[in-house]
Structure 1
């Protein structure tokens, strides 16, 4: 299990980010400037709305300690590459989805270490592990920013190769992700069972409220229907893989997934169960406006 968490999981995440980079072009970043208002709404929802909802969920369900810090860790993580696929399935704005995923993922290299440092001290108090914010930022760089940059380099140098390997990379990363999540839950089965009763409903509420909230905010601001769908999905689907990967670094655990990483592992399963019916409903909404 140790090699899965400490080696295979980070490599899996790197492959996921590489697949994101391979699919990026300069036009994706120009789109951020061209559609500044819409992008700002989506990014603000991701960076602010999710942590606020997560904090409220923690209070509502009476969670504390490493579990509470773990939920905040999950909330601080950016949306995953999966959101791009789901946006396409929901007939959302895929270009906006890719732009949000890419830029917010790169920004998270700075935001996640700082915010997690606060959350760990706030919820764990004297039991808070001592970790280096700079080391966490370096880890974020190595498993997110660097693979994205390499992928973009491949796209620029060999666009034909990038077109061929992009779908294969996405399939590979998805398979690795499923294997890791199942292995993580199996190796922490007792901890999983003990906490599922309280964590399951809490994480389901987090997922549902953020998805619905993102859609409602987009509608209230008169964004196009496709943009509303995309913001809803980007806000609702968090990168649980990143949370699981960072947990051992934060907790200083030598092996396995520490308690602070458990919410990310459980969320990665629940997310699809709660998101599926909502995405099916989004598909029925015509892209008017």
Structure 2
């Protein structure tokens, strides 16, 4: 029971921290950089699930883990993607915009796509996904806290700037706790499948990083924009993936569907930063 309450509350605070670092002008950048923003949004919502789906057609995982991989793929970029973008020399303003916009859109896209994935990968054991209920729950624990954080920053910008570091620090700690709880709850499944699941997730991560840069270049975007889009594709909101898995299972606690998100929440940082720095060295800033 404690976990059922703590998990959504932790995600809500993480999303509050996301909104706490935003301003209304971040959403306006969609109009000022439409090609980059639309490319990033399209790749996150469409290309990431497609890459995950193709990977699952190639490898053989238990149905529950396949469903979990797809849930993860439907999630928006992670809350730390902005920091990684800055470190890698990407366009930070674009990263902030994509994280904000796709996170809000996910209230609609995640429940709908998860419903399709449940019937596709779980077969006769498919769980009925109540799209409306999941959407409302996601709004309550993702969009609403982010909007509250945004409003707090708008009303008290000086206070928000002074406390943003502390809020972000707490969010990181909660994120780590969520990952540990998800793995501990499903430890037997994790240890039994990590030899297969780990390489699959790392492979998906690498493909997304490379695809983000190459597609960005193909549509005429500059190097820093491509690096940003690449990171946004490769860094998923693992905490949201774990929470959505719990909402779908509806049985309390953290289900086995959450294992891929928990594992990816660790491997994505190990892969993404060196991967992006390598891409940056190869493609430069042109």
Residue pairs, 1:6-155, within 5 angstroms: 6-155=4-153
1:275 match:
272
Equivalent position SS for 2:97: helix
- SS of corresponding position for 1:63: coil
Runs of 4+ with deviation above 2 angstroms: 279-289
Indicate if the aligned counterparts of 2:19 and 2:149 stay in contact, CA closer than 8 A: yes
Uncovered stretches (5+) of structure 1, i.e. residues with no partner: none
Deviation at 1:62, TM superposition (A): 2.0
Residue 272 of structure 1 deviates from its aligned partner by: 1.6
Shift of residue 105, structure 1, vs aligned partner: 0.3
Where does the alignment leave 5 or more consecutive residues of structure 2 unmatched?
A: none
- SS of alignment partner, residue 129 of structure 1: coil
Whether the 8 Å contact between 2:114 and 2:129 is mirrored in structure 1 is no
Q: How far, CA to CA, are the matches of 1:27 and 1:248 in structure 2?
A: 34
Select the residue among 236, 240, 243 that pairs with 1:238: 236
Shift of 1:132: 1.5
Give the Cα–Cα distance (whole angstroms) in 2 for the partners of residues 197 and 32 of structure 1.
41
Distance 2:85 2:5 in 1: 30
Select which of 158, 167, 188 maps to 1:169: 167
Aligned residues: 286
Which stretch of the first structure deviates more once superposed, 260-269 or 8-17? Answer: 8-17
Kept after mapping to 1: 8 A contact 2:16/2:148 = yes
Partner of 1:180: 178
Cα offsets for 1:93-138 (capped at 9, x unmatched): 0000000000000000000000000000111121011231111001
**Inter-partner Cα distance in structure 1 for 2:284 and 2:82:** 17
The aligned residue for residue 2 of structure 2 is 3
Deviation at 1:3, TM superposition (A): 2.3
Note if contact 2:14-2:174 (Cα within 8 Å) is conserved in structure 1.
Answer: no
TM-score if structure 2 supplies the norm length?
0.95
Provide TM-score, normalisation by structure 1: 0.94
Provide the rounded CA distance (Å) in 2 between the counterparts of 1:226 and 1:220.
Answer: 14
CA deviations on 1:222-274 (whole Å, 9 max, x unpaired) are 2111101100000111111101011121112222x212111111111111222
Q: Pick one of 158, 161, 165 that aligns with 2:156.
A: 158
Shift of 1:285: 6.1
Once structures 1 and 2 are overlaid, which stretch shifts more, 102-111 or 58-67?
58-67
Instruction: Give me the CA root mean square deviation.
Output: 1.5
Q: Quick one: distance in 1 between partners of 2:225 and 2:15? A: 23
**1:190 CA drift (Å):** 1.1
CA contact (8 A) 2:186 2:256 kept: no
